[in-house]
Amino acid sequence: MQKILDLISEEVQKAFEAAGYDKELGKVTLSNRPDLCEYQCNGAMAGAKKYHKAPIMIAQEVADRLAGSDVLAEVSAAAPGFLNMKVKETFVRDYLREMRESEKFGLEVPKPAKKIIIDYGGPNVAKPLHVGHLRSAIIGESIKRICRYAGCDIIGDIHLGDWGLQMGLIITELQKRQPDLIYFDDSYEGEYPKEAPFTISELEEIYPTASAKSKEDEAYKAEAMEATYKFQNGVRGYWALGKHIIHVSIPDLKRNYENLNVEFELWKGESDVRDIIPVMVEDMKKGGYAYESDGALVVDVKEETDTKEVPPCMILKSDGASLYNTTDLATIMDRMEHYQPDKLIYLTDKRQELHFEQVFRCARKTGLVNEDTEMVYIGFGTMNGKDGKPFKTREGGVMRLENLIREINEEMLRKIRENAETKGYTVDEKEAEETAKVVGLAAIKYGDLSNQASKDYIFDMDRFTSFEGDTGPYILYTIVRIKSILSKFAEQGGVLTDTVIEAAVNDSEKSLMLEAAKFNAVMEGAYEEIAPHRICAYIYDLANAFNHFYHETKILTEEDMQKKSGWIALLILTRDILETCIDLLGFSAPERM
Ligand code: ARG
């Protein structure tokens, strides 16, 4: 479906042309003065020079041509040359009727559909998830859903951090505790046990212990580095232990991500490209890209237009060990070979920007990607506490994701009980707890996604969990309200599917209709700019428009059946749009709250 603004623009462009002016002048935008009109066109001002005419005269001529339009109800020329416009109720009605009939409310999907791999999550195995991983998961999941909705073939890869020093630290600590483990016996040639010699809770304790020891004890740290090296180079016992660490961590990670309503299609990790690294290094050397510098192997990636220094991309350290760059590059090679994506999207904290700049340039230069493969990096800002510093626990420690979620859910539960109390009904405890989880997730996700991703934001428990204002719970509350009206209508004997959208009878209804009509434009923008916050802003406006209409209209007691049916139809469309949007943001609405 065409966007509503484009349809209105076309109408005005025709009028410019008919009056003898350049058609391009007829571009219409939303009004800056909603008190005066719904849409405006500033083309007469732009045309004044070219046609040596007062803009107001041009505007008047165009306005005259628009009398009798099927699209526009009121068109007036206003000094110095604006065209102020209101659209016809019947035009909006027809537009919404078509939206309701169309798949995806008339959103047109990009052709040909793109194949995309999105790399988000990036948790490090054996380390608990903390709030730093939260943003990546929340934003990445939403981007994935938006791209998929827009028709792309997109897969998400968690890209586990399973290559670094944490692996060696855990292995070293295990060796101290259980030196007789068969994994440490160099002469052993048999199969290793299927069961790991530790559980997830042991692992969660082993890592911090080892990490603390390595900070105090140089020799311990050296051992851990040695163990990391052995693991990375596939020394049998070390490799087998590393794989145990990964496999024991995964179910725990899955549970955590499931609670966040985040799902990855691929559960690959850095260590999965171990065998590709030597091949890639060889290619880079043969191609004349990689050279030795102070013993290390590097690829130059600086460009003439650089305004800041971009250091060479290091592929291997002087001791032959591979780095974060190396696994990222080898992963690109792997992804190109197995999935042939048109586009790669990465999400991390924006402090990793330089890393990705180097990796992308290196991949491009060494031909790991095709010339037209897009590589997109989205760096997000920090989630801060109310003091403006990175979010911490009350004691000042790193906040674990599970604890953060628990705190939000508790606060939500309290608010749900309080709300029930003021409204004078009783809540079922079990149901209230389930609802608190659903609404709590919306509070966290909306609180995050409503900000532009690159910006830092303040995690404000009170504000995020409020039922009023620009919050997730407010959006859910609106959806629940609509659902409740719809079920009452059904209880009265109304048939939801028989309802038909009608022309608006008052301003608040028309405003709601015009908000709903923006859907495909907003979605296209959110997709093209990879910007979930645009969806948040849209549903906030839509929810406000609905609530305004709701407060001014007695829907269920209306006696004019055609009117009532029109309103119900509009409510259904509004609910469907809101539910589609929150699904794209990665949360859902409860039945009641
Ligand atoms: N594991 C990394 C971290 O915790 C994030 C990984 C992001 N993805 C990537 N392909 N480098 O910082």
Q: Which tokens sit at 97? A: 């009727």
Last-in-domain residue among 87, 112, 137: 87
Note the pLDDT tens digit of each residue in 54-107.
999 999 999 999 999 999 999 999 999 999 999 999 999 999 999 999 999 999
329 in a structural domain: no
Residue closest via CA to ligand 1's atom 8 equals 122
Ligand 1 pocket test, pick from 246, 348, 378 with the greatest ligand atom count within 8 Å of Cβ, gives 348
119 lines ligand 1 (CB under 6 A): yes
Sorted by sequence, the CB contacts under 8 Å of residue 529 that are 6+ apart come out as none
CA–CA dist 337, 345 (Å, integer): 17
CA 227 to ligand 1 centroid distance, Å:
21
Ligand 1 pocket test, pick from 352, 376, 377 with the greatest ligand atom count within 8 Å of Cβ, gives 352
Residue closest via CA to ligand 1's atom 11 equals 328
CA 161 to ligand 1 centroid distance, Å:
6
Helices (H) and strands (E) in the chain, counts: 20, 13
Range of the domain at 439: 401-585
CA–CA dist 331, 334 (Å, integer): 5
- 345 and 332 in contact (C-beta within 8 Å)? no
Residue closest via CA to ligand 1's atom 3 equals 122
Please give the pLDDT value at position 401.
Answer: 86
Is the four-CA dihedral 41, 47, 51, 53 of positive or negative sign? positive
Largest pairwise CA distance in the chain: 95
Note the pLDDT tens digit of each residue in 133-157.
999 999 999 999 999 999 999 999 9
CA–CA dist 152, 143 (Å, integer): 11
124 lines ligand 1 (CB under 6 A): yes
Look at the chain and count its residues.
Answer: 593
| Segment 333-338 long-range contacts (CB within 8 Å, at least 24 positions apart) | 333/273, 333/276, 333/279, 333/280, 333/368, 334/272, 334/273, 334/276, 335/117, 335/157, 336/368, 336/369, 336/370, 336/373
Please give the pLDDT value at position 242.
Answer: 97
493 in a structural domain: yes
CA 287 to ligand 1 centroid distance, Å:
28
CA 380 to ligand 1 centroid distance, Å:
13
DSSP one-letter string for 188-212? --SPPPSS-SS-HHHHHHHHHHHHH
Query: For the sheet containing 153-157, what is the strand order?
Result: 153-157, 115-119, 343-349, 374-380
312 in a structural domain: no
Name which of 87-101, 112-126, 287-301, 442-456 the model is least confident about. Answer: 112-126
Atom of ligand 1 nearest to the CA of 356: 11
CA–CA dist 88, 91 (Å, integer): 5
Atom of ligand 1 nearest to the CA of 349: 12
∠ CA 334-163-396, nearest 5°, is 125
- 290-293 and 296-299 beta bridge pairing: antiparallel
Sorted by sequence, the CB contacts under 8 Å of residue 187 that are 6+ apart come out as none
Atom of ligand 1 nearest to the CA of 164: 1
64 in a structural domain: yes
Please give the pLDDT value at position 127.
Answer: 82
Please give the pLDDT value at position 427.
Answer: 86
SS3 content of the chain, % helix, strand, coil (to 5): 55, 10, 30
525: burial class by Cβ within 10 Å (0-12, 13-18, 19+)? middle
159 in a structural domain: no
Please give the pLDDT value at position 396.
Answer: 77
Domain containing 500 — which CATH number? Answer: 1.10.730.10
CA–CA dist 485, 564 (Å, integer): 12
Please state whether the peptide bond connecting residue 312 to the residue before it is cis, i.e. omega within 30 degrees of 0: no
Cα 239 from chain centroid (whole Å): 35
Q: Which tokens sit at 78? A: 């206003």
348 lines ligand 1 (CB under 6 A): yes
CA 163 to ligand 1 centroid distance, Å:
11
Closest by CA position to 436, among listed 474, 464, 462, 465: 465
558 in a structural domain: yes
CA–CA dist 466, 197 (Å, integer): 46
CA 322 to ligand 1 centroid distance, Å:
15
For residue 397, pLDDT over 80 is answered with no
∠ CA 331-448-201, nearest 5°, is 60
Q: What is the mean pLDDT of the chain?
A: 95
Residue closest via CA to ligand 1's atom 10 equals 328
CA 87 to ligand 1 centroid distance, Å:
50
Please give the pLDDT value at position 432.
Answer: 94
What b/e string do you get for 530-539 counting C-beta neighbours within 10 Å, with b at 16 or more? bbbbbbbebb
pLDDT band at 247 (very low <50, low <70, confident <90, very high): very high
Note the pLDDT tens digit of each residue in 431-485.
999 999 999 999 999 999 999 999 999 999 999 999 999 999 999 999 999 999 9
Last-in-domain residue among 53, 72, 87: 87
Q: Which tokens sit at 504? A: 């608006």
376, β-bridge pairs: 345
CA 479 to ligand 1 centroid distance, Å:
36
pLDDT band at 42 (very low <50, low <70, confident <90, very high): very high
161 lines ligand 1 (CB under 6 A): yes
CA 159 to ligand 1 centroid distance, Å:
7
Tokens 């102070």 belong to: 294
Atom of ligand 1 nearest to the CA of 132: 4
For residue 398, pLDDT over 90 is answered with no
Phi first, then psi, for residue 296 (nearest 5°) are -90, 160
CA–CA dist 412, 439 (Å, integer): 7
pLDDT band at 391 (very low <50, low <70, confident <90, very high): confident
Atom of ligand 1 nearest to the CA of 324: 11
- 157 and 265 in contact (C-beta within 8 Å)? yes
132 lines ligand 1 (CB under 6 A): no
457, β-bridge pairs: 383
Atom of ligand 1 nearest to the CA of 331: 10
Helices 236-259 and 401-423: angle between axes, nearest 10 degrees? 10
From residue 283, give the alpha-carbon distance in Å to each of 278, 289, 333, 368. 9, 9, 11, 10
Note the pLDDT tens digit of each residue in 312-324.
999 999 988 899 9
222 in a structural domain: no
CA–CA dist 415, 523 (Å, integer): 32
CA 131 to ligand 1 centroid distance, Å:
14
pLDDT band at 43 (very low <50, low <70, confident <90, very high): very high
Cα 116 from chain centroid (whole Å): 15
Please state whether the peptide bond connecting residue 80 to the residue before it is cis, i.e. omega within 30 degrees of 0: yes
Last-in-domain residue among 20, 52, 87: 87
Domains: count for the chain: 2
Please give the pLDDT value at position 425.
Answer: 83
For residue 173, pLDDT over 80 is answered with yes
pLDDT band at 399 (very low <50, low <70, confident <90, very high): confident
Atom of ligand 1 nearest to the CA of 270: 10
Sorted by sequence, the CB contacts under 8 Å of residue 68 that are 6+ apart come out as none
Domain containing 42 — which CATH number? Answer: 3.30.1360.70
pLDDT band at 112 (very low <50, low <70, confident <90, very high): confident
Please give the pLDDT value at position 393.
Answer: 77
Ligand 1 pocket test, pick from 120, 133, 159, 165 with the greatest ligand atom count within 8 Å of Cβ, gives 159
Radius of gyration of the chain (CA): 29
